[in-house]
Amino acid sequence: MAETDVAAASLFGADRRLCSADVLSPPEVRARIEVAVLNFLAALSSPSSPSISILPLIARKSANCSLRSGLLSDVSSVYLSYAFCKRSLMRENDAKAFVRVWKVMEMCYKILGEGKLVTQRELFYKLLSDSPKYFSCQRHVNQSIQDVVSLLRCTRQSLGVMASSRGALIGRLLLNVCEPEEEHIDCSILGPSGHAITGDLNKLSKLNLCSDARYLILVEKDAIFQRLAEDRLYNQLPCILITAKGYPDIATRFILHRLSQTFPNLPIFALVDWNPAGLAILCTYKYGSISMGLESYRYACNVKWLGLRGDDLQLIPQSAFQELKPRDLQIAKSLLSSKFLQEKHRAELTLMVETGRRAEIEALY
């Protein structure tokens, strides 16, 4: 698409070099939804050539993805540029997706008007009750939310959709909560489950953080997190432990980014398995994801790999290795085709594929 067509193709203009999602107030988001509705009605009621307008969405594909490096930091993040995909009622395979976008915008408009927040799961049940013909599974809702983000250029939180958090943290960190009442949480005296991370990014952004830690350690698995917490690792090695219990959710990525901004001298290490999924988790924390490319820069951190590497494999027994599964190979293929995978990480991934093996952190016990 030519640069002169960008403003005409999108509902809301911005920096033409890259796309991003804005953090907006409820009135601002509702105004953008109203603009989308007015544009639709204007096209439909045009005296000369009435039509059902298409929805121009920023394409969330690898072909439209690049890596953005910070000028004053060593943090890089995924970003999307101005290439568009379209949702149209007139395409057979696109009609339901077109309607879903409007249904989600309608529901978000109501939620914002009521001053509420909902999780993606809660939104699914609302839409399932309201429009079961169009929302038969959670995936339909998740994809439609990303479509709305791409259309309105605002974050999911701005739409009133709260992150569903599984994350937890523990260690040398004091959380000062000011609202609704003042509370101080010392994360160094908690049980092995740690402090549950709320999915409300507004609350996370208002936390006052104090720490004397020297390291931030991301832990892929909850079982490993709890093992390290039981051993009180953070008393022997001054650190903050954080986990999303698998693939990173937005809230965990958000609080990690806040910690990295508040304590810029703390190195961040990711303790992950030696397998394609572990490397994919590390890359998500480090760069963000294509599916959320409009928001990735808000959560990206300079994360380093901590754990098993190819050079360490002789240290573990042969019985600890497992064969790569089809899902592992699928993830590996996707990562190897990525533009932003570092060469040292590419070498590790290639070794996994060539040997057909993987190893989990538990092998070091």
Three-state secondary-structure class, residue 319: helix
pLDDT per residue as tens digits for the range 191-232: 999 999 998 888 898 899 999 999 999 999 999 999 999 999
pLDDT per residue as tens digits for the range 12-69: 444 455 778 888 999 999 999 999 999 888 888 877 766 677 788 877 777 777 767 7
What pLDDT is recorded for position 265?
92
Our answer to whether residue 297 is catalytic in this structure is no
Mean confidence (pLDDT) of the chain: 86
Calculate the alpha carbon distances from 153 to 19, 110, 279 in Å: 8, 19, 29
Average pLDDT over every residue of 300-325: 89
**Which of 79, 82, 109, 125 does the annotation list as catalytic?**
125
pLDDT band at 322 (very low <50, low <70, confident <90, very high): very high
For residue 286, pLDDT beyond 60: yes
Q: Are 351 and 314 in contact (CB under 8 A)?
A: no
For residue 4, pLDDT beyond 50: no
What pLDDT is recorded for position 165?
83
What pLDDT is recorded for position 12?
46
Cα torsion angle, 175, 249, 36, 13, sign: positive
pLDDT band at 70 (very low <50, low <70, confident <90, very high): low
Average pLDDT over every residue of 301-314: 88
For residue 71, pLDDT beyond 70: no
* Rounded Cα gap, residues 364 and 360, in angstroms: 8
For residue 73, pLDDT beyond 70: no
Average pLDDT over every residue of 108-119: 94
What pLDDT is recorded for position 289?
82
DSSP string, 199-250: S-HHHHHH-EEE---SEEEEES-HHHHHHHHHTTHHHHS-EEEEE-SSSPPH
Give residue 25's Cα distance to chain centre. 21
Three-state secondary-structure class, residue 180: coil
Name 333's Cβ contacts closer than 8 Å, sequence gap at least 6. none
* Rounded Cα gap, residues 340 and 287, in angstroms: 8
On the 0-12 / 13-18 / 19+ scale of CB atoms within 10 A, 283 is: buried
What pLDDT is recorded for position 3?
37
pLDDT band at 163 (very low <50, low <70, confident <90, very high): confident
